[in-house]
């Protein structure tokens, strides 16, 4: 009776504190808190189409709406992926670092069931 | 570190402490409450495995609610299912690297927040329009629904309409999980969402939301129908 109560108690304790337990047990406590550093493009290339805080939260909306306009209506504008690539030339040092950190797939590229070839060179 | 960050860091730990202490003491109370009589609701399983299967049916499919009220079952089941998926999706904020087992769930995007919100609205309306449920509803019943709706609405806003920068959100949450506080993201909708969740955590152990743990301890569901085969004795009633 007491034994079963203890087992039930421990089961709930483990489920409820899982994030803390995993974090303490995984050993990467020191480096994983901070958001990743990304390699920013050459400042000489000019300003981005929108400001940084807007882009951080909304870049996917711009890309998606631009895709609708380009693919469905044939109107191309500033928010195209190829325009992004003219400054942000490397998926692994730019897109992927934050996307991996947050556990979100970038939906644009062929390896991620998207349509586009990812930029991979930095030159 | 700003004052707001300091306040929210302290507030979060207090909320989590109240939630854990409250939840676990309630579980301990449920688990040690004597059940002196065999009272499984018939037809009841005659083997322990059958009782486990019965609990799984209750927890996984709300079986007895299904046979008593289909509309409430549909609304309640959809809500709980959506809540489960939403919680799993939130795992990306709580674990340094999202567990691989959760990856499949982030691949399909089905506006899950709305599947959580609409059943809550329906449940709220049902309480108001059906005479009998209106009569037995107290303010706390509405409060829970309003609180959950507030969480769903602000969550939907941060995800689809007034998007927030989830990298800074994760940085803040991981700071809390790893006990090295980080700056609170300066996004009002996120802050409201976060505050409402903390209020829910504080209120949880004192409310009927404890059905989340309590359902496992219902004697009418978890007992085996074997009083003729085995003598049923509780520890405090057993002789010497």
On the question of pLDDT at A29 being above 60, the answer is no
Asked whether residue B10 is assigned to any structural domain, the reply reads yes
Average pLDDT for B127-148: 95
User: A21-35, A90-104, B154-168 — which one is most confidently predicted on average?
Assistant: B154-168
Residue with tokens 């809550």: B120
Q: Cβ contacts of residue A52 below 8 Å, gap of 6+? A: none
**Secondary structure (3-state) at B7:** helix
Max CA distance (Å), chain B: 67
Handedness of CA B23, B29, B32, B33 (dihedral sign): negative
The count of C-alpha atoms lying within 13 angstroms of the C-alpha of A60, restricted to the half-sphere facing its C-beta, is: 18
Q: Cβ contacts of residue B33 below 8 Å, gap of 6+? A: B217
Contacts of B97 in chain A (CB under 8 A): 32, 100, 103
**Secondary structure (3-state) at A116:** strand
Pick the more confident residue, A82 or B4: B4
User: A49-63, A73-87, B160-174, B200-214 — which one is most confidently predicted on average?
Assistant: B200-214
Å between A46 CA and nearest CA of chain B: 23
At A77 the pLDDT is 77
A12 burial level (CB within 10 Å; 0-12, 13-18, 19+): buried
Average pLDDT for A13-33: 74
Q: Do A57 and B175 touch (CB under 8 A)?
A: no
Q: How far apart are CA B90 and CA A17, in angstroms?
A: 15
Contacts of B107 in chain A (CB under 8 A): 105
CATH number at residue B44: 1.20.950.20
Q: How far apart are CA B152 and CA B92, in angstroms?
A: 18
Å between A105 CA and nearest CA of chain B: 8
Q: How far apart are CA B30 and CA B217, in angstroms?
A: 6
Asked whether residue B239 is assigned to any structural domain, the reply reads no
B28 at the A interface (CB within 8 A)? Answer: yes
Confidence band of B64 (pLDDT split at 50, 70, 90): very high
Contacts of A100 in chain B (CB under 8 A): 97
**Secondary structure (3-state) at A109:** strand
Q: Do B24 and A53 touch (CB under 8 A)?
A: no
- A-B contacts at Cβ under 8 angstroms: 88
Q: How far apart are CA A121 and CA B81, in angstroms?
A: 43
What residue numbers bound the domain in which B118 lies? 3-223
Asked whether residue B192 is assigned to any structural domain, the reply reads yes
Q: Where are the alpha helices (DSSP H) in chain A?
A: 2-16, 18-25, 29-32, 52-67, 73, 81-85, 96-102
Q: Which residues of A touch B (CB under 8 A)?
A: 1-2, 4-5, 8-9, 12-13, 16-20, 22-23, 26, 28-29, 32-35, 53, 56-58, 61, 98, 100-105
Å between B99 CA and nearest CA of chain A: 9
On the question of pLDDT at A123 being above 50, the answer is no
Asked whether residue B238 is assigned to any structural domain, the reply reads no
| Number of domain units in chain B | 1
**What does B157-210 look like in DSSP terms, one character per residue?**
IIIIIS---HHHHHHHHHHHHTT---PPP--HHHHHHHHHHHHHHHHGGGSGGG
Pick the more confident residue, B234 or B6: B6
Asked whether residue B228 is assigned to any structural domain, the reply reads no
Which residue in the set B28, B107, B175 is minimally distant from A9, CB to CB?
Answer: B28
Asked whether residue B233 is assigned to any structural domain, the reply reads no
On the question of pLDDT at B172 being above 50, the answer is yes
**pTM given for the model:** 0.89
How many C-beta neighbours within 10 Å does residue A114 have? 14
Q: How far apart are CA A7 and CA B234, in angstroms?
A: 18
Pick the more confident residue, B240 or B189: B189
Which residue in the set B30, B106, B163 is minimally distant from A104, CB to CB?
Answer: B106
Average pLDDT for B113-134: 94
**What does B35-104 look like in DSSP terms, one character per residue?**
--S--PPSS--SSHHHHHHHHHHHHHH-HHHHHH-HHHHHHHHHHHHHHHHHHHHHHHHHSSS--GGGGG
Domain layout of chain A by residue ranges: 51-123
């Amino acid at each position: 009776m007491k034994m079963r109560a203890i087992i039930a108690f421990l089961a709930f304790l483990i489920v409820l504190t899982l994030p803390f337990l995993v974090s303490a047990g995984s050993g990467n406590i020191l480096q994983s808190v901070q958001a990743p550093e990304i390699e920013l493009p050459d400042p000489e290339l000019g300003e981005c189409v929108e400001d940084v805080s807007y882009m951080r939260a909304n870049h996917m909306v711009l890309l998606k709406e631009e895709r609708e306009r380009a693919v469905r209506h044939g109107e191309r504008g500033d928010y195209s992926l190829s325009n992004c690539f003219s400054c942000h030339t490397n998926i692994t040092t730019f897109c992927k670092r934050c996307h991996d950190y947050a556990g979100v797939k970038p939906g644009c590229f062929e390896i991620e069931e998207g349509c586009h070839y990812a930029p991979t060179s930095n030159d | 570190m700003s004052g707001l960050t300091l306040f929210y860091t302290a507030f979060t730990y207090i909320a989590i402490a109240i939630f854990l202490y409250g939840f676990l003491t309630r579980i301990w109370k449920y688990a040690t409450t004597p059940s002196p009589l065999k009272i499984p609701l018939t037809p009841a399983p005659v083997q322990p495995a059958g009782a486990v299967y019965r609990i799984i049916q209750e927890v996984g499919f709300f079986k007895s609610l299904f046979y008593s009220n289909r509309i409430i079952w549909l609304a309640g089941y959809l809500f709980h299912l959506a809540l489960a998926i939403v919680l799993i999706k939130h795992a990306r904020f709580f674990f340094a690297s999202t567990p691989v087992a959760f990856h499949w769930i982030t691949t399909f995007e089905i506006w899950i927040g709305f599947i959580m919100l609409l059943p809550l609205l329906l449940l709220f309306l049902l309480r108001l329009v059906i005479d009998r449920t209106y009569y037995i509803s107290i303010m706390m019943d509405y409060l829970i629904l309003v609180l959950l709706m507030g969480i769903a609405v602000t969550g939907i806003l941060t995800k689809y309409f007034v998007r927030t920068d989830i990298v800074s959100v994760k940085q803040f949450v991981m700071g809390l999980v790893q006990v090295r506080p980080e700056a609170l993201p300066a996004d009002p909708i996120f802050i409201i969402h976060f505050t409402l969740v903390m209020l829910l955590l504080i209120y949880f152990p004192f409310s009927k939301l404890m059905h989340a743990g309590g359902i496992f301890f219902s004697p009418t569901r978890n007992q085996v129908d074997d009083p003729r085969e085995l003598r049923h004795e509780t520890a405090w009633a057993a002789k010497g």
